[in-house]
Structure 1
Amino acid sequence: MKKILFQLTVTFVLGAMLSSCGGDSNPTMKNSTGKPGEIVVVIPKATWEGEAGDTIFHFLAQPVADLPQEEPMLNVVHIPPQAFGEIFKTGRNLLLTKINPSVKEPKITIQRNVWAKPQIIVSVQAPNEKSFTDFFAKKGNDIVSIFVKEERNRLMKMYADRKFKNDAVAERMAKEHHFTLNVPKGFVVSVDTTNFVWIRYETPNISQDVIAYWYPYTSDSTFTRNYLLNKRDSVLKKNVPGPDPGTYMMTERQIPTLFRAFKLNGNYTAMLRGLWKVHGDFMGGPFVSISTLDPIRGRVLTLEGFVYAPKKDKRELMRQVEAMIYSVRFPDQKKNDKINRMAEMGNDTSAPPVDSVETK
């Protein structure tokens, strides 16, 4: 399968003619090239066709979790060092390798905007092929996360840019619901109630949706997978109808839903990632949600992005709505920060513990 990736070189060259969106207009720096989710791996052909190359490909092209059809985390383009000329140096995502006895021990370095912008370059070095393979096997998921997060950050930066940002939606959310959200122009608010908002972008072939709902924070059990899934299904049944009477959106429970707890902008947050379906119909697709604590208002705010795109690739569509929900901010975050600091010092037992486990 790796060998056919040489054909992707043609795709990359064509993609090089399209400049990616960058907020910086430095005239001395070229715009990066390549499609979103594309990565150029620079490594000798013989090494690429051996165990080291197999290990690199295994991690970079692993399937994205919780998509209805299999799609790789990154589209991999292999380039041998002698072919790594100017046209490839402007790639948005570069993985450079060095296997040489002069390298004392395996290491990773990260650089940004060396030959173009926005650009991220991850270099992996090792003294020999075995140590390189072992090191990459240990750090592979971390390396993938670096590139995927960088793609999300690029989208977030673009959606915050006044050329793309839907100011009307952002201002409406801030004024009426006390949070801000960056969505691009073209998205419209289709439903707006006292505790539920639905923002949509639709074409004849796809639908990208962002919903937000909020409810009182009452206990630590709020930030558990079962509670959040049950809350999700109760809200969707009431607010997201299907195409026919009696049909409604719900979580696909036959497929495990990913769960992760972390902090977002200093606030305790839990993420769900899985599949949705419509009760009484055949519609379905992927979703991602984050539920974040708003201490000053004593509420939990859930933001969810989901996609309906039959027979279409969904990875990039999902990454776009994910970037939108991760842009959420509270206008009085400084007050939340104060409460969060008090909770961490043990002066407030009402906040959920920071060390909640991360599970699948």
Structure 2
Amino acid sequence: MICILEVMTGFLFLSNFLYKPRKIWYDVCYFFPSYYNYIPDMRRISIYHTIILFILLAACSNNKQPLLPKVTGKPGEVLLVVDQYIWESEIGNFLNTMLTQPFEAIPQEEPIYDPIRISSSAFNNIFKSHRNIILAKISSRNKKPRIIVQRDIWAKPQLVVNIIGPNDSTTLQYLEENQDKLVSLLNQAEINRTIENYKKNRAKGIDEALKTKHHLTISVPIGYQMDVDADNFIWISHELSDLTQGILIYYYEYTDSNTFTPEYLVQKRNEFTRRYVPGPVDGSYMKTEDLYPVVYNQYNRDDKYYIELRGLWKLEKAFMGGPYVSLTTLDEKRNRIVTVDGFVYAPSLNKRNYVREIEAIIHTLTITE
């Protein structure tokens, strides 16, 4: 409807614009009769008019998506549209427990998400633009439990998860079986939003240097600077008064499949950080915290194999530390192992969202040709 109104407005404007010249010519010819032969051909103008109208209507038909507002809400927030009787049931308890479980590999406990619960009657336009929305509806009219995922319904980029079930028991069982998928959906939505923002505001100088010298790219946002650019090690950092976010990129020759074990990857990390990441005290350097178990995940993306590590780092001979997350893959063309490692130092701040920010950066890793 909005598009049609825009086309009609443009049509009227063009009508006024295209037909005015004829009136002007008649006014001129009143004083200069010999100019009558040059009066514009209105048939030709009508043809142009029709063509322009056709182009406007075609553009309207190809743009069926309405203009959506940007999402609202803070990073890590999830809006739960759940009525009181569901919230007080086992399903409500499950959703709350799922969203508030501890975030992995950070020194102080924080929930993976911050749930905000409202009833369905309160779900108005103010709330519909929220970044992450979970709606739960339990009714005997529903034949079986389902999870329906929608995107960009009331805002953009938005994730909307509909949980539908016939009763508490079967719905709860279904949710328990799909808990990891639900959390993964939310995680990916949060990361993708950050990635898209970073791609629009990337530090082009760093991007070009990585591509030219090291044959790889990552979307590093404006505000980061290159601290070290060695033959096979890069250190990029973002420094504020109370926060440090660092990206370490290093690579080495691939020898055998044992390269992808967590023990070997931690060993290589310690080798590079000892050499290139010194602390403020003489003889101090970054290393992986041995007292905290490393979280190890593996997966495939775009036909490439990746290893993800999460853990804690510390400074040897100094009192500093924090979380890190790394992504490792094989560059088959150059027979090298490439690791992108992000770390956070923020002793007085919550760290979950800052870890997600560096996680978004490392997940933009691309090996170039």
| Residue matched to 1:308 | 345
Question: How much has 1:181 moved relative to structure 2?
Answer: 1.0
Runs of 5+ in structure 1 lacking a partner?
1-25, 333-360
| Residue matched to 2:142 | 103
Tell me the alpha carbon deviations over residues 231-266 of structure 1, each in whole angstroms, 9 at most, x when there is no partner: 111111111111101111111111110111222332
Q: Within the alignment, does 1:252 sit opposite 2:289 as a pair?
A: yes
Match of 1:122 among 153, 158, 161: 161
Overall identity of the aligned pairs, in %: 39
Q: Distance in 1 between matches of 2:274 and 2:261?
A: 20
| Residue matched to 1:7 | none
Instruction: Give 3-state SS (helix, strand or coil) of 2:212's partner.
Output: helix
Alignment of 1:251-290 (within 5 A): 251-290=288-327
Q: Distance in 2 between matches of 1:296 and 1:304?
A: 21
**Which protein shows a greater Rg?**
2
Alignment of 1:189-228 (within 5 A): 189-228=226-265
Instruction: Give 3-state SS (helix, strand or coil) of 2:209's partner.
Output: helix
Q: Distance in 2 between matches of 1:264 and 1:236?
A: 27
| Residue matched to 1:70 | 109
| Residue matched to 2:122 | 83
Q: 1:27 to 1:186 in 2, by over 3 A?
A: farther
Runs of 5+ in structure 2 lacking a partner?
1-64
Q: Distance in 2 between matches of 1:96 and 1:141?
A: 18
Question: How much has 1:27 moved relative to structure 2?
Answer: 6.8
Q: Distance in 1 between matches of 2:145 and 2:121?
A: 23
| Residue matched to 1:93 | 132
Q: Distance in 2 between matches of 1:153 and 1:117?
A: 12
Tell me the alpha carbon deviations over residues 54-91 of structure 1, each in whole angstroms, 9 at most, x when there is no partner: 11111111110111011111110001101011111111
Question: How much has 1:43 moved relative to structure 2?
Answer: 0.9
Question: How much has 1:158 moved relative to structure 2?
Answer: 1.2
Q: Within the alignment, does 1:112 sit opposite 2:151 as a pair?
A: yes
Q: Within the alignment, does 1:156 sit opposite 2:195 as a pair?
A: yes
Question: How much has 1:138 moved relative to structure 2?
Answer: 1.9
Instruction: Give 3-state SS (helix, strand or coil) of 1:40's partner.
Output: strand
Matching residue's letter, 1:277: K
Q: Distance in 2 between matches of 1:27 and 1:128?
A: 36
> Does the CA-based 8 Å contact 1:59-1:141 persist in structure 2?
no
Say what the alpha-carbon RMSD is for the aligned residues.
1.1
| Residue matched to 1:35 | 74
Tell me the alpha carbon deviations over residues 37-57 of structure 1, each in whole angstroms, 9 at most, x when there is no partner: 100011111220222111111
Q: Distance in 1 between matches of 2:316 and 2:332?
A: 34
Tell me the alpha carbon deviations over residues 118-174 of structure 1, each in whole angstroms, 9 at most, x when there is no partner: 10101111101222222222212210110111110111111111xx11111111100
TM-score by length of 2: 0.81
| Residue matched to 1:319 | 356
Instruction: Give 3-state SS (helix, strand or coil) of 1:275's partner.
Output: strand
